[in-house]
Amino acid sequence: MSTLHIFSRADIPNHALRAIGQDDAIVLTQDACYACHTLRNVACEIYLLEPCAMARGIHETSTLSFIDDPTFVTLTLKFNNTISW
């Protein structure tokens, strides 16, 4: 089953990263957006909530996917489970 992992803190614990499968996805919100560059080796889709990223001076690139609030809601419906860390 696929899981949407939602992080809001910049210090993402290693045990959380070990729980992520390749069919899962990650959404970075709030200060977790600062961790976007440290997650490059994670084998799943990674999204940043656009208002949070922009407020922290992080800009969209070809390797960073920004999403808006409606897309965030759509992702929560797409995945079987959601976990907020």
Whether residue 55 has pLDDT greater than 80:
yes
- Distance, in Å, from the CA atom of 71 to the CA atom of 83, rounded to the nearest integer, reads 17
What domains, with CATH codes, occur in the chain?
Answer: 3-84 (3.40.1260.10)
- Could you give phi then psi for residue 55, rounded to 5 degrees? -65, -20
pLDDT band per the 50, 70, 90 thresholds, residue 20: very high
User: What's the confidence (pLDDT) of residue 10?
Assistant: 94
**Is the whole model's pTM more than 0.85, yes or no?**
yes
pLDDT of residue 40: 80
